[in-house]
Chains A and B, each alone.
Chain A
Amino acid sequence: MLELRDITKRFGNVLANDGVSIKVRPGTIHAIVGENGAGKSTAMRIAYGFYTADGGDILVDGEVRRISTPHDAIALGVGMVHQHFMLVEPMTVAENIVLGAETGGVASLDLGKAADEIRALSDEFKLSVDPRATVESLSVGQQQRVELLKALYRRARLLILDEPTAVLTPPEVEEFFAILRRMREQGKTVVIITHKLSEVLAISDDVTVMRDGRVVGRVETSRTNAAELARLMVGRDVLLRVEKTDAAGDGAAVLGVKDLTVTARDGKRRLDGVSFEVRAGEIVGIAGVEGNGQTELIETLAGLTATGHTASGEVEFEGRAITRLNSRARRELGVAHIPEDRHRRGLLLDFDLAENSILGDHYRKPAVSGFGNVFLNDRGIRARALQVINDFDVRPPDPDLPARSLSGGNQQKLIIGREFEINPKLLLVSQPTRGVDIGAIEFIHRKLVALRDAGCAVLLVSAELEEVTALADRLLIMREGSVVGEVDPKRATVEEIGLLMTGGK
């Protein structure tokens, strides 16, 4: 039905798809699995015409086709349900479904007729969606079915579903799978992108496994098992090694988290009763597929609860409750934070390196001096910047350059250097080596271990399983906002951790 042949796609410096070939048999449910950033969504967005491939062919029903806009894909019978729903919330279900596929003349939008058609489709697949309801009044599960109807209304024969179960509760998932099976019975083809292995095994006929922009495995579901898929998904041929001694492990608890829960405005729990401790002189790693609460955990601990989110539970720092302190007060106590997204959080890209080296400390010495500590102290700032640049080998070593002009690795080293400058007692670090070249990765790892050896407590989140297992002294695994297990990173196998991460057990 659908075939991708040797698809290549580059975003800036990142090779998102590297010679990806996927073949989907008609009338089947085909799962594409892989960790976040493996290139699954990119490949499928190319198939839907949302992105244009740099190289390779798309075949529909055995013929090479040009798909450069979603419009082309729709015409060929390809529909897609995106991970973030493409729905216009204040509009009705019928309006959303009809949008872009209106029938009738310029002057008439026969929503009544469309509603009848939608109701018929809805009945056929037992979706029970009311065409007259506004989308924002629907539950997430219902909104997803609106997306399905949108594709079906456009007479899609192939449906691409990007992480469809991420937003659903377990009973909703069951219901949703029943719908997919009904679609298959009606002769539709379904491609489902996911990272949950239990679901792959439950619903799919074929599996394609992707890692780092490449296809690393193609199997029939009936001939594989969760352990094999987990190894394909997260495993590496060469294991990363970090020189480090065992942690003393008897340091005092620096960070204590008790029953931390973060609830979003829609009532969904992003963090659900998380409790753990980080002691001085140890690195506690958190492994998990991205989007399972790690971001909320680190940001909440740093005092940056997102607007609309409410946090409950206790956070203790050196035995003292800091739950109510803001980020500046926490930093003054010695909590440093290396954020996961350096462009959004970590840097002022248009500011120069010197100015970036005092972000978070711009109001205190050595950044200020003089009358009432109001004036910026140029000499102090430059000294701070040069210190960071030297200690962390930031290149080019020019404090007057804008941060934007640095490579990803050097930007990251600048941030890490800045955070190390406050001699932290607790370091919260998220994705420390994302988009960073190999040399810088090793450098950053050594620095993190050295900080631990100096007695700092480190909480490390990384989507790179290899990275957390190599660095952490203890490893916690998070799934759906909860800590679902703790393992010894030296003993645990990739399969074991992978199964905990994906709920394959």
Chain B
Amino acid sequence: MKLLRELFFPLVAVLAAFVLGGIFVWIIGDNPFETYRLLIGSAFSWPDGIGYTLFYATPLIFTGLAVAVAFRCGLLNIGAEGQLYVAAFATAWVGIKFGGTVVDVFGTPVNYSWVTLPAVLLVPLAIVTAIVAGAAWGAIPGVLKARFGSHEVINTIMLNFIAIALVSYFTQYHFKQAGDPILQTVPVGAGVHLPRLGSFIPGLPTRIPLNLAFLFALVACVLVYIFLWRTKWGYAIRATGANPTAAEYGGISTGKQIVLAMAVSGALAGMVAVNEVLGYRYRYYDGFSANYGFTGIAVALLGRNHPVGVLLSALLFGMLIRGGIFVDAFSGKVSKDLVEVLQAIVILFVACEALFRGSFGRFGLLKRSKV
């Protein structure tokens, strides 16, 4: 019964989005049913449909969890995008500086490394780097809010632009191979590559980039659940988000929780780097994120800021991204941008509904800060 209640409004929101999206498709002169068949149907084929859906869902699970953790503390982290960029670059840097000899874009072997670490050390080091870099970038708006009361929404937006500009600078001026027409770093060493799941699962070809990071994402769901609901830290974070004055009464330092929640949120966003850099592109590639950070907001809201919900809605959005490519290719007039339209409508509906029931609880914090 409780589960049904929790599922009801998200389902209504998704349904409403599909109906409105369908009307929109019909207005621009295409067949909504055919469009939705392409959009959804293409996700279920084996191995490509399922493989790619899970691959696209992976970064969304991480960013969805990131937004959810912050949300549970009463914070809106619009900065997952910047956090994952910083983490991706830092991770690539580790892979370049400790990864050993690589083959550059012109096919020549080169060594950019200081030391070549074995994979057993290098992979964990790269993952820890992703986590730490994301956490550090995420903690900045947390500290600014706890210390100066400046609003996390504006600061995270600004930090997104700063992050993207900074990593673009480092890429362009220090880590790009001269003559490479694409704005990307040199490749990371082979030792830091994460295995693709195709290497373990029969019938799943390794050309599909679904990799170990997907399993990490599943683990992250479990860990986030444990952290938020099964540890004293999670309790303090959730209490701060639910009612900061009561949390204070309960001896909880709300400022510390804000910094902690933002750091954990940033760390989760940073894990996107593991999927993209270590599991897929094997280098930092400028502009690699297809708005994963912002889609994470939709994923978290639709998933009711709970890991299980986040997982489900990330799979839905992963499916839509996969299907969008098919819509683009095979539909007459509809483009993959339909996915964004659906996403936006979902957020709008969930936002209006969430406050209907007063379950947002973030006004306590909002009131005290300057926007």
Q: Hey, which bits of chain A sit against chain B, CB under 8 A?
A: 302, 304, 326-328, 331, 337, 339, 344-351, 355, 358-360, 362-363, 367-368, 373-376
Q: Hey, which bits of chain B sit against chain A, CB under 8 A?
A: 226, 229-236, 238-239, 242-243, 245-252, 359, 361
Q: How far is the CB of B68 from chain A (nearest CB, A)?
A: 15
Q: Enumerate chain A residues within 8 angstroms of B234, measured Cβ to Cβ.
A: 376
Q: How far is the CB of A255 from chain B (nearest CB, A)?
A: 19
Q: For residue A360, which residue of chain B has the nearest CB? A: B250
Q: How far is the CB of B66 from chain A (nearest CB, A)?
A: 22
Q: How far is the CB of B246 from chain A (nearest CB, A)?
A: 6
Q: Enumerate chain A residues within 8 angstroms of B246, measured Cβ to Cβ.
A: 344-348, 359
Q: How far is the CB of B370 from chain A (nearest CB, A)?
A: 14
Q: How far is the CB of B363 from chain A (nearest CB, A)?
A: 12
Q: Is the CB of A350 within 8 A of B232?
A: no
Q: Is the CB of B248 within 8 A of A304?
A: yes
Q: Enumerate chain B residues within 8 angstroms of A351, measured Cβ to Cβ.
A: 238-239, 242
Considering the complex of A and B, which 7 residue pairs feature the smallest CB-CB distances, nearest first?
A328-B251, A359-B250, A360-B250, A345-B249, A362-B235, A348-B242, A363-B232
Q: Is the CB of A350 within 8 A of B249?
A: no
Q: Is the CB of B233 within 8 A of A345?
A: no
Q: Given A367-B232, A374-B231, A374-B232, are A327 and B248 also a contact pair (CB < 8 Å)?
A: yes
Q: Is the CB of A304 within 8 A of B249?
A: yes
Q: Is the CB of B230 within 8 A of A339?
A: no
Most buried by B among A345, A358, A367: A345
A335 to B33, CA, bound (A): 66
Q: How far is the CB of B226 from chain A (nearest CB, A)?
A: 8
Q: How far is the CB of A143 from chain B (nearest CB, A)?
A: 22
Q: Is the CB of A331 within 8 A of B231?
A: no
> Could you say which of A346, A355, A367, A373 contacts B249, with CB atoms under 8 Å apart?
A346
A44 to B246, CA, bound (A): 32
Q: Is the CB of B361 within 8 A of A327?
A: no
A350 to B246, CA, bound (A): 12
Q: How far is the CB of A311 from chain B (nearest CB, A)?
A: 16
Q: Enumerate chain A residues within 8 angstroms of B236, measured Cβ to Cβ.
A: 362-363
Q: Given A327-B248, A344-B245, A360-B251, are A376 and B230 also a contact pair (CB < 8 Å)?
A: yes
The B interface is mostly helix, strand or loop, or mixed, namely: helix
A-B contact pairs, 13 of them (CB 8 A): A339-B249, A345-B245, A348-B246, A348-B247, A351-B242, A355-B235, A359-B239, A362-B239, A362-B250, A367-B232, A374-B233, A376-B230, A376-B234
Q: Is the CB of B249 within 8 A of A359?
A: yes
Q: How far is the CB of B67 from chain A (nearest CB, A)?
A: 19
Q: Is the CB of B235 within 8 A of A337?
A: no
Q: Enumerate chain A residues within 8 angstroms of B245, measured Cβ to Cβ.
A: 344-345
A358 to B246, CA, bound (A): 12
Q: Enumerate chain A residues within 8 angstroms of B247, measured Cβ to Cβ.
A: 348
Q: Is the CB of A375 within 8 A of B230?
A: yes
Q: Enumerate chain A residues within 8 angstroms of B242, measured Cβ to Cβ.
A: 348-351
Q: Enumerate chain A residues within 8 angstroms of B251, measured Cβ to Cβ.
A: 326-328, 331, 360
A368 to B243, CA, bound (A): 21
A331 to B248, CA, bound (A): 13
A355 to B252, CA, bound (A): 14
A358 to B231, CA, bound (A): 13
Q: Given A349-B242, A376-B235, are A337 and B359 also a contact pair (CB < 8 Å)?
A: no
Q: How far is the CB of B256 from chain A (nearest CB, A)?
A: 12
Most buried by A among B233, B236, B246, B359: B246
Q: Enumerate chain A residues within 8 angstroms of B252, measured Cβ to Cβ.
A: 362
Q: Enumerate chain B residues within 8 angstroms of A375, measured Cβ to Cβ.
A: 226, 230-232
Q: Enumerate chain B residues within 8 angstroms of A327, measured Cβ to Cβ.
A: 248-249, 251
Q: Is the CB of A376 within 8 A of B231?
A: yes
A376 to B242, CA, bound (A): 18
A350 to B236, CA, bound (A): 14
Q: For residue B248, which residue of chain A has the nearest CB? A: A304
A302 to B243, CA, bound (A): 18
Q: How far is the CB of A420 from chain B (nearest CB, A)?
A: 16
Q: For residue B368, which residue of chain A has the nearest CB? A: A307
Q: Is the CB of A348 within 8 A of B248?
A: no
A351 to B230, CA, bound (A): 14
Q: How far is the CB of A298 from chain B (nearest CB, A)?
A: 11
A376 to B230, CA, bound (A): 5
Q: Is the CB of A350 within 8 A of B231?
A: no
Q: Enumerate chain B residues within 8 angstroms of A358, measured Cβ to Cβ.
A: 235
Q: Is the CB of A348 within 8 A of B232?
A: no
Q: Enumerate chain B residues within 8 angstroms of A337, measured Cβ to Cβ.
A: 249
Q: For residue A376, which residue of chain B has the nearest CB? A: B230
A302 to B245, CA, bound (A): 13
